[in-house]
Amino acid sequence: MADSSKSGKLIDALERIANEHLPDSSVDFDRLASAVLEGITNTKQHAYPAELAKSFRFTERWWATGVIDKAERRVSAIIYDQGASIPDTIMRAPWFPALVDAAKRLTSWGNFENDDGALIAGAMAVGRSKTRLSHRGKGLADMESFMRTCSKGRLSVLSRNGEYVSYAAGDATRFTHSSPIRGTLVQWDVWV
Amino acid sequence: MADQVINIASDFTRYPGPRHIEDGPKSGEEFRDTMLIPRITNAVQSGGKVVIVLDGARGYTSSFLEEAFGGLVRLKSFTRDQLDRILEIRVSDPKIRYLAGNIRDYISSTSAAA
């Protein structure tokens, strides 16, 4: 359940601590709350599909926390789920073959299907694009768009073996690690 | 007829939720169906405006606002002209003034479902 009062109260607490320890921080906590809720909603909608319940043995929950680092002048919000990863999820999507085809024609991503970093980047790109049902499927993009309102920050999305990092300046990078994490961890870091 | 005012933060929730009722509490769908539609229907029948106050909430996802306002056209047979006449979006906080424009975009760019 994407319970906005739980995630919202976490952001309330983060804002109170930031006001105490990082006065004059310019973080837009309302937009951060929206980005976090989009991430949690994404978990509710995609991370625990019934057809994978047996093979994954899900705990249908999400976790969230926050950090104020006074020395670094950093505000962070983190959410985590132990469900199906983004690579697992998008490879089962009906539009996945079209995404692979477009990536092969338009990018130098190479062996896209076996590159979890590229699969997460692909999911983000689909979220940013206009789809036929343009009112749907924007959750990942909305998680990222918060970063564009910050002067210095990054969004990190770790899922299975992949990592996608999007920076406030608009650039992004991706990695594929040798060891996986279970589920998906999303972290917003803003330096103030 | 007097204007009807809905202050989302005090009349519905300080923590607006996700798009659909099935996704979580205080969704855009719940707000549209329980708060917006009764008042808009009333305003269509008897005149007057419905004023929506956005200030004071802990952020709005685009999913919440699109479902609540775009969904009036897409799913509930209200026309853009009707909503232009009836709905007034009120925002005092300059940081969230852009949301009023987003809501107008959701209404104007949405087509009724076939």
B13 to chain A, any CB pair closer than 8 A? The answer is yes
Q: Mean pLDDT across the stretch B4-27?
A: 96
B28 to chain A, any CB pair closer than 8 A? The answer is no
Dist CA A130 CA B62 (whole Å): 15
Are the C-beta atoms of residues A174 and A148 closer than 8 Å to each other? no
Q: Which of B22, B55, B58 to mutate to test the interface with A (most CBs of A within 10 A)?
A: B58
Q: Tell me the pLDDT band of B114, cut-offs 50, 70 and 90.
A: low
- Residue A11 predicted with pLDDT over 50: yes
A8:B70 CB<8 A: no
Q: Length of chain A in residues, anyone?
A: 192
Dist CA B95 CA A157 (whole Å): 27
A152 to chain B, any CB pair closer than 8 A? The answer is no
Provide the H-helix boundaries in A68-129. 86-91, 96-106, 116-128
B26:A5 CB<8 A: yes
The pairing of strands A153-167 and A74-81 is unpaired
What would the pLDDT profile of A86-105 be if each residue is shown by its tens digit? 998 888 888 888 888 877 77
**Those residues with Cβ within 8 angstroms of residue B18's Cβ, 6 or more apart along the chain or in another chain:** A2, A4, A37, A41, A44, B24, B27, B28, B61, B63, B64
Task: Report pLDDT for A177.
Answer: 95
The interface predicted TM-score (ipTM) is 0.90
Structure tokens at B16: 């607006």
Q: Mean pLDDT across the stretch A170-190?
A: 94
Question: How large is the greatest C-alpha to C-alpha distance in chain B, in angstroms?
Answer: 38
- Residue A19 C-alpha, separation from nearest chain B C-alpha, in angstroms: 16
**Those residues with Cβ within 8 angstroms of residue A78's Cβ, 6 or more apart along the chain or in another chain:** A64, A65, A66, A67, A185, A186, A187, A188
Which of 117-136 (A) contact B at CB < 8 A? 134-135
**Those residues with Cβ within 8 angstroms of residue A71's Cβ, 6 or more apart along the chain or in another chain:** none
Boundaries of every domain in chain A: 4-191
Q: Which residues of A touch B60 (CB under 8 A)?
A: 30, 34
What would the pLDDT profile of A62-91 be if each residue is shown by its tens digit? 999 999 999 999 999 999 998 889 998 888
Q: Locate tokens 């599909």: which residue? A: A49
- Residue A158 predicted with pLDDT over 90: yes
CATH 3.30.565 given to domain A4-191: yes
- Comparing CA positions, the residue from A92, A116, A124 lying closest to residue A179 is A116
Search chain B and give the residue with CA nearest A11.
Answer: B58
What would the pLDDT profile of B61-111 be if each residue is shown by its tens digit? 999 999 999 999 998 889 999 999 999 999 999 999 999 999 999 999 877
- Comparing CA positions, the residue from B96, B104, B77 lying closest to residue B8 is B96
**3 state SS for B50-67:** EEEECCCCCCCCHHHHHH
Question: Which residue among A2, A11, A142 places its CB closest to the CB of B62?
Answer: A142
Angle at A185 between CA B24 and CA A113, to 5 degrees: 105
Task: Report pLDDT for A129.
Answer: 64
- Residue A32 predicted with pLDDT over 90: yes
Compute φ and ψ for A109, nearest 5 degrees. Answer: -70, -15
How many contacts, defined by CB atoms under 8 Å, are there between A and B?
Answer: 79
B111 to chain A, any CB pair closer than 8 A? The answer is no
Task: Report pLDDT for A132.
Answer: 44
Specify the pTM.
0.90
What would the pLDDT profile of A112-132 be if each residue is shown by its tens digit? 778 899 889 888 887 776 554
B110 to chain A, any CB pair closer than 8 A? The answer is yes
Task: Report pLDDT for A52.
Answer: 72
Structure tokens at B15: 């923590």
What would the pLDDT profile of A35-64 be if each residue is shown by its tens digit? 999 999 988 877 777 777 777 677 788 999
What would the pLDDT profile of B26-51 be if each residue is shown by its tens digit? 999 999 999 999 999 999 998 899 99
Higher pLDDT residue, A12 or A42? A12
Are the C-beta atoms of residues A11 and A36 closer than 8 Å to each other? yes
Dist CA B57 CA B42 (whole Å): 25
Provide the H-helix boundaries in chain B. 28-31, 37-46, 62-65, 71-74, 80-86, 98-108
Question: Which residue among A31, A45, A134 places its CB closest to the CB of B23?
Answer: A45
